[in-house]
Amino acid sequence: MSNLSQIENLLGDKAEYYLGHNSKTISKDSIAAPGGEFVTEHFIGSNRSNQVLNNLARLYNHGRLGGTGYVSILPVDQGIEHSAAASFAPNPRYFDPANIVELAMEAGCNGVASTYGVLAQCSRKYAHKIPFIVKLNHNEFLTYPNTFNQIMFGSVEDAWEMGATAVGATIYFGSDGAEQQIQEVAAAFERAHELGMATILWCYLRNSGFKKDGVDYHTSADLTGQANHIGVTIQADIIKQKLPTNNGGYSAIGFGKTHPDVYSKLSSEHPIDLARYQVANCYMGKIGLINSGGASAGESDLQDAVTTAVVNKRAGGQGLIMGRKAFQKPVDEGVKLIQTVQDVYLDEKIDLA
């Protein structure tokens, strides 16, 4: 069975809906499409130094997707973000940092993203074999009641010393601590660029007020799009964002500023068009958008991950960053899931909508 046939089978009766969609909102010709020369074409005129370009190229050129302009990253920071018990009890081998890195290597990922401790524990053995992405901040999950605040866990210099290709950080846009987080992460990204590392922003919304009349607007296209736009403003080289599930957050919640054209011309109800609006807010794709794989739901994980990958790719995104769906399974199943998602990006027949 060809890769495309397998993908079509996984999409089931939604295959035509996702693979046959022709976007009538933001034209695909306006999007900086991923490709083998993406770093040269879209970063060469920027303020990024030669060392940053070198590390961006190392990330884009590694693994099964190397040289395509797409990336597949294994993120395992959930031991802090969601607790080690909740994350690793389903598969205790990933309490061991080396097994996290080896999963990313076996699956052919472009890079592995994790905590200072995880990557430091095995940096001398693996940092030269696969790009390391050191997560700078976390929401520690032991304060009671939970505060949902991203705090720094180490220095940018420490990440550089362990051979990191890039640093990553999270901002909870809309939260009480958002302004401080924006300033801290902006300063950290500036320092990372000075040292020659690339920067990746986990661009999330967090505010109880973003749930209105039973609808959760934390993943609305308009609000996540603006979060992306702030993220690229502080010079993130790649934006990580959740796939949009709805739109109209500004109007429903009744705050901020928007424009009717966002909903009538620049987006539609189709998931690909909603994701394209996210891409547009990343400087029309000149800063790559990768969507997150989300929590493990069990038997539907492979179908869900492939669907997300198809939406991301056809919208103009650059890849998937997927953790729990992979590492909470036996190794062979986790590798198969990651590589099936990678096959979406390797198949040239799946193109921009």
Q: Which of 327, 290, 301 is nearest to 102 (CA)?
A: 327
Are the CB atoms for 38 and 60 separated by under 8 Å?
yes
Spatial distance between the Cα atoms of 197 and 93, rounded to a whole number of angstroms? 30
Q: Can 240 be counted among the known catalytic residues?
A: yes
Angle at 342 between CA 336 and CA 348, to 5 degrees: 135
Spatial distance between the Cα atoms of 297 and 124, rounded to a whole number of angstroms? 35
**Residue from 240, 242, 313, 329 carrying the catalytic annotation:** 240
CA atoms within 13 A on the CB side of 327: 35
Are the CB atoms for 296 and 4 separated by under 8 Å?
no
Spatial distance between the Cα atoms of 262 and 27, rounded to a whole number of angstroms? 14
Are the CB atoms for 307 and 9 separated by under 8 Å?
no
CB atoms within 10 A of CB 89: 12
Cα separation values, 123 from 112, 137, 149, 233, Å: 12, 19, 28, 31
Please give the positions annotated as active site.
Answer: 240
